[in-house]
């Protein structure tokens, strides 16, 4: 089980400050950093972090997504596009998209997994910024998602709303740290369920998706 710590937050500033500190310390020590980020409410955190890292040499930082709503490049529900539209910029480091023109979701998932393997092998600090839904979902791992049982780093599947490409629990185990940002109605109870540990009498498929975050070596949670 992860070493889990919970901190109170009133908005994106607190987790952003924490992430900036972790990334800056690693870069100044000459380490390579892989930072992966989610969409939704995490976008505000990611934009704040990137803004504060403007003075940090970014050549040692690789950027990627935790998950994506698949579709045409630039479609309005894309996590990548929403990050860019919100002002995410980090000169010297390019955000790796999951959506690839003229490529199926399954093929894009395989390509992204190959990229992740290279980046994970090269990085000294691997940190993922995750959201948390009131229903216990995180990343593109919705309750009952076939991606929960995937053996690959990245999986593609058709959800009830979007075609999804998402990193899987396999990635969580290989991160240095997972940072969760969970503010808003219903989130505090979801955090409490997460911190209560793995639900007794459940297997890997039936447990709430966010409980896979307990597989990360370190879990830091910001909530209200």
pLDDT, tens digit (0-9, with 9 covering 90-100), for 7-22:
999 999 999 999 999 9
Over residues 129-139, mean pLDDT: 94
Q: Which residue has the higher pLDDT, 29 or 189?
A: 29
The pTM of this model reads 0.95
Whether residue 39 is predicted with pLDDT greater than 90 in this model: the reply is yes
Residue 154 pLDDT exceeds 90: yes
198 φψ region: left (φ > 0), alpha (ψ -120 to 50), beta (else): beta
**For position 3, what pLDDT does the model report?**
78
pLDDT at 177: 97
pLDDT at position 203: 54
Q: Are 36 and 197 in contact (CB under 8 A)?
A: no
């Amino acid at each position: 089980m992860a070493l889990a710590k919970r901190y109170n937050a009133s908005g994106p500033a607190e987790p952003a400050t924490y992430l900036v500190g972790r990334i800056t310390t690693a870069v100044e020590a000459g380490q390579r950093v892989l930072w992966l980020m989610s969409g939704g409410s995490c976008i505000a955190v990611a934009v704040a972090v990137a803004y504060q890292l403007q003075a940090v040499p970014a050549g040692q930082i690789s950027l990627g997504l935790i998950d994506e709503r698949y579709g045409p490049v630039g479609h309005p529900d894309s996590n990548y596009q929403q990050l860019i539209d919100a002002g995410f910029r980090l000169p010297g480091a390019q955000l790796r998209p999951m959506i690839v023109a003229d490529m199926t979701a399954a093929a894009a998932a395989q390509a992204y997994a190959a990229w992740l393997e290279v980046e994970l092998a090269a990085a000294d600090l691997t940190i993922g910024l995750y959201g948390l839904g009131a229903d216990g979902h995180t990343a593109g791992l919705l309750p009952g998602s076939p991606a929960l049982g995937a053996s690959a780093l990245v999986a593609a599947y058709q959800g009830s709303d979007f075609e999804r490409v998402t990193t899987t629990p396999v990635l969580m185990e290989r991160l240095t740290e997972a940072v969760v940002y969970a503010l808003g109605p219903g989130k505090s109870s979801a955090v409490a369920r997460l911190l209560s540990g793995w639900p007794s009498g459940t297997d890997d498929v039936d447990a709430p998706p966010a409980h896979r975050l307990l597989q990360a070596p370190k879990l830091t949670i910001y909530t209200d």
